[in-house]
Amino acid sequence: MTHRDTQLKYPTPKKGPSMASWTAMSIAQALSPSARKSGQNWLTRCPAHADDGPSLSLIDGKDGRVIFNCLAGCDFRDVSRELANLGFALPGSPRRITATAVKPPEPQRSPRHTQHHVTWDYAPEKALTAPFDIQRLFRERAPLVTSIWDWMNKGGELLFRTARLDDPERGKSVVPITPCICRHTNKVEWRMKGPDGPRPLYNLQNLTDQTVAVVTEGEKVADAVRNLFRDQPGVWVTTTLGGAKSPHLVDWSPVAGLTVVVAHDYDAAGLAFAAAVAENARLHGAISSHLWTPPVDLIVNNGAPAPRPAPTPAGFDLFDAAIEGWTLPLLATLQHPWHGPEIVSWSKISA
């Protein structure tokens, strides 16, 4: 159920002065009937994405405002816009909703009216038997799904999937989808939630006896780089679940004994991602780690590198480079295919 669906069952909040009576609890319960309290915070469904969470955390601030944060990573401006669309006025700070300093008493509910909280547990062993239905998962946003990626263990067993949505208004997003089993009914289905425990690296089923691991930002770039290295059996291409935001949540043990090359995006977040990956790789036994910057100063012209005539857009990556016509032989002509404290000869992966 999306947050727009909840408008069919709950009164739409009225804009204006009456908004001063809203609290974290009342906002959370208006957004979802399954809202629950966790410590001082209220957890409810985020209106900015198709949330099976709950992912939106709200708390009553000391200054008479309600402070919110999407734990799934939605931009606060997207959450603000969706809350405003639902009738919650947002004066002042975009991260806060105006609320009265004197909170109204919380309603007392009898036990028979307390809703039973349904818990779904990650069950990778059910990946092949759970029905996978994009329409059920994403509902009205299903047409925005442009790619689905399978994440497997080293034995080739499916663990979970990720889906990319290209929304013309909200931009792109990648969400994990995992096979789950209901604790109460044993029902099995795919749900939008991340896997438990340390996150596996992408393409583990292709890791054999390679000596070099190329780590990219995202599955789309990983597939493009893997195509670049299709004739190089010594290279394993991978990425992390959550992209630039989550290298610290990953199980990096597979890179032990490998030379790690981080093919980062051309922006500040890409450099931060590369630094985090390099540090985690070192801590988990990588021989060395290096940064591979995409060819931002050059472009392919008539089959050869030439000066780029216009500034390189932020976020430029090796997927974009491949679209421009860069191939592995052309990339190998650059003076330093990757950068780092120790420069490794390109012959290590091109030989």
- Give the integer Cα–Cα distance in Å for 216 and 238: 6
- Give the integer Cα–Cα distance in Å for 159 and 98: 43
Q: What's the alpha-carbon Rg for the chain, to the nearest Å?
A: 24
- Give the integer Cα–Cα distance in Å for 160 and 322: 28
Task: Identify whether the C-beta of residue 257 lies closer than 8 Å to the C-beta of residue 287.
Answer: yes
The residues, any chain, with a CB within 8 Å of residue 292's CB and separated by 6 or more, are: 214, 261, 262, 263, 264, 318, 337, 338, 339
Task: Identify whether the C-beta of residue 221 lies closer than 8 Å to the C-beta of residue 247.
Answer: no
User: What are φ and ψ of residue 70, in 5° steps?
Assistant: -85, 115
Which of 163, 196, 193 minimizes the C-alpha distance to 52? 193
Pairing between β-strand 188-191 and β-strand 212-216 as defined by DSSP bridges: unpaired
Global pTM exceeds 0.75 = no
Query: What does the pLDDT read at residue 72?
Result: 76
Label residue 303 left, alpha or beta by phi (over 0 means left) and psi (-120 to 50 means alpha): left
Query: What does the pLDDT read at residue 21?
Result: 55
- Give the integer Cα–Cα distance in Å for 152 and 2: 29
Half-sphere exposure of 134 (CA within 13 A, CB side): 15
Chain center to CA of 205? 21
Cβ-based burial of 271 (10 A; exposed 0-12, middle 13-18, buried ≥19): middle
> Tell me, what DSSP letter sits at residue 199?
B
Query: What does the pLDDT read at residue 330?
Result: 85
Q: pLDDT > 70: what percent of the chain?
A: 80
| Residues of the chain under the 50 pLDDT cut | 1-20, 90-105, 110-116, 338-351
- Give the integer Cα–Cα distance in Å for 184 and 119: 7
Query: What does the pLDDT read at residue 134?
Result: 92
CB atoms within 10 A of CB 135: 11
Task: Identify whether the C-beta of residue 291 lies closer than 8 Å to the C-beta of residue 264.
Answer: yes
Task: Identify whether the C-beta of residue 317 lies closer than 8 Å to the C-beta of residue 271.
Answer: no
Query: What does the pLDDT read at residue 138?
Result: 92
Residue with tokens 């591979």: 292
Determine the 3-state secondary structure of 66 from DSSP. Answer: strand
Query: What does the pLDDT read at residue 17?
Result: 33
